[in-house]
Structure formats: C-alpha cells, structure tokens
Structure 1
Amino acid sequence: MNCPNQPSDDSLTVKHSLIHPAVFINLYDHYAPGVYRYAFLRVGGDLADEVVVRSFLKAFRQRRLFSSRSISFQAWIYGIASRVISSYPHAEAKRFRTMSQELGTTALYSLGSRERDAFLLMTWGRLPLSEAAQALGMSTERLERRLDRTLQRITNRIPGSVR
C-alpha cells in the first residue's frame, strides 16, 4: 500500500516515460487486457482492439497531464476508454440491444450514459468505487448515490424481480 505522499509505481512509470517513452509499454502490458475486456463488453469484439489502441495512444500523448495526486493510472485509463467508447454510440447501442434481447430485459439499455458508465466501470471494468469515481470525475459519495439509483432502476425493470 502506498503512503498518500509517495508516488505509485504507475506514477513513476509515467514520469519516466517522459524521458524514455518506451517504458510506457509497461503500463500498456499491465492494463490493456482489462481495458480490452471492458471495451469488448461495451462495444463488441470488432471495436474493442481499436478502443484499446485509441485509449492508450491518447494516454501516451497526454501523459504530461497525468497526476497521481488526483487520480490513479487505472482510473485515468478507464476514464479515457469510457470517453473513447462514447464515440461509438451506434456500436454500443447495438451491443446493449443484443444483450437486452438475450437477457430478456431492457434495464441496461434504458440507463442514461453517465449511469451506465458508472455501473459498467464497477461491474465490467472491475474498478473499485473510489477509482470509478475518479474515472468519471466525481466524488465517491456522489457515485454511491448514482449507483444506488441505478441499481433501483435496473431492479425495477427486471421481470419478476422483488421490489
């Protein structure tokens, strides 16, 4: 566990990559599989690789802006990936329609984009609450409230669910 004032390994890697860009590949190697899984679930296999490439390319180009004091690298890269995914609204909508048909519910498809991002970062992205909040640029408390409302809406839309 890192001390609050001690930079993380990821932070040091980002800082080192400013001088030696090739070390950024270590962050890619570590986080790309999870970002791919998250992208695959949201937009499907046809676009998941592209989302990963675009996300890491954007992170690489903006690495001077990264500050581990305000956000972890994991939260930062998933936040970037969420924004990249939002540039494929038709692919994501098609994916959610297909999943809704398979599951027999429109719950996920019916959520607003911010609600869906919050829910999916925690479930499919497997981010802890604090990092999902960082990725979305909101406080942990605000995200908790948003997730409570989201889970209520999903539960209310699932046929046969206990209310």
Structure 2
Amino acid sequence: MATDALNAVSDAEIIASSLNDPEAFAALFDSYHAMLYRYVSFRLGPEVAEDLVNEAFLIAFRRRRSYDLSYRDARPWLLGIATKLIARYRRAEVSRYRALERQHPLQRVEGPEEAITHDLIAAGARPALLHALSLLSRGDRDVLLLVAWSDMTYDEAARALDIPLGTVKSRLNRARRKVRDALGDVNPLKEDSDG
C-alpha cells in the first residue's frame, strides 16, 4: 500500500500533464468533486452547489497554467477558488443561515460535517451556531469553515484564501471566540473530554 502511495501521481503532475493533454485535468475533477460539493453544499445549500463546483473547476482549468507546480496538493487551490465564488453569494449565505436558524429539521448532507451537524442538532445548539455564523465577517467565516469543516491546515487555508498565515490565525481565533460567546462559552467545533 505504501508503494502505491509513492507511485501515485501528484495533483501538480496532473495539472502539468493537462497543459499538453487537457483531458488529463479530468483526474482532478474525479478526485475532488465530492469534497468540493460537500463544502459548497454546506455553505450555500445543495441547490447551487453543483453549478458553483462546476464553475470552480472551469476556473481552475482555465487558470491551470498559472498553478504553482511546487505544491503537489491542489486541494487548497481548488477550495480557494470555491471560497471566492462563495463570496459572491455572501448575502444569500447569510440569509440561508438565518432561515435555517428558524427551520427544523435539518436537511442532511453527506460528508464529515454531517456528524458535527447531527451533534449540534441533538444538543440544540444548531440555531445558535447558525446565528453566530451569520454574524461573522465573510473573512472570519471563510477561515473558520475551511479549517473546521474542510479539515484544512492553517497553511492550506492561507493558500486557499491567498492571505498570510498570521491573518488565518487571527481570523480563526476571532471567529472561534465570537462563536463561543454566542453559544455561551461552548465551542461546538471541539468535543468535550470528560475526565
């Protein structure tokens, strides 16, 4: 299995190959479509996710010549494109959070965030969390959701948003503090350990 991982073609190699063979880019689509769809669907809802994800891949395809091939993993790049597209929908996103805050039950979306969402519903914290998210600035919300729900490292989030690492850390700290304050000093993004 370790040999397979060593022989695996990197995203950078796929992008480089697609410069001469555009169809090679389809491998990135196959690898990351589901992940991008979950992220965008959670942020904006499934009704716009497919279109936005397809637009993100179209932009990535058109910009593939400018991709920094020193980065083997294209996930931060693709999530950065998707996050910038999400920014266009900011008003709709905030409206959606506010509408979901008043609505029950949650329409489930498959993915890692499903477990978090399920726990929040069970704890009754969902409306408060959605309200807290709607009050965050776009930049703070983008960093928080990339790190918390897309499992990105701080460095990857900085690459995805094209901002300095220090900005990621300060935005994340501020967003977590505001969410905790809105939830009465409870951080729903971390599991409490008993004992």
Shorter-normalised TM range: 0.7 to 0.9
2-side partners of 1:64 and 1:156: how far apart? 44
- Give 1:104's match in structure 2, choosing from 108, 117, 127: 127
2:164 matches 1:139: yes
- Alignment correspondent of 1:113: 138
* AA matched with 1:66: Y
* AA matched with 1:134: R
Q: For structure 1, which segment, 49-58 or 80-89, has the greater mean C-alpha deviation from structure 2 after superposition? A: 80-89
- Alignment correspondent of 1:61: 62
Contact conserved, 1:100 with 1:107, CA < 8 A, in 2?
no
Structure 2 residue ranges without an equivalent (≥5): 1-8, 104-125, 188-195
The Cα shift of 1:141 comes to 3.0
Residues 76-91 of structure 1 aligned to structure 2 (within 5 Å): 76-91=77-92
TM-score of the pair, normalised by structure 1: 0.87
Aligned residues: 156
Q: For structure 1, which segment, 44-53 or 83-92, has the greater mean C-alpha deviation from structure 2 after superposition? A: 83-92
Q: Deviations over 1:78-110 (max 9, x none)?
A: 000011111223431222113433523221000
Contact conserved, 1:37 with 1:124, CA < 8 A, in 2?
no
* AA matched with 2:139: R
2:185 matches 1:161: yes
- Alignment correspondent of 2:35: 34
Q: Structure 1 segments of 4 or more deviating over 4 A?
A: none
CA RMSD in angstroms comes to 2.1
SS in 1 for 2:88: coil
The Cα shift of 1:162 comes to 5.6
* AA matched with 2:32: Y
Q: Sort the Cα spacing of 1:147 and 1:27 in 2 relative to 1 into closer, same or farther, 3 A.
A: same
Contact conserved, 1:31 with 1:74, CA < 8 A, in 2?
yes
TM-score of the pair, normalised by structure 2: 0.73
Larger Rg, first or second structure (1 or 2): 2
Identity %: 32
Q: Sort the Cα spacing of 1:97 and 1:29 in 2 relative to 1 into closer, same or farther, 3 A.
A: same
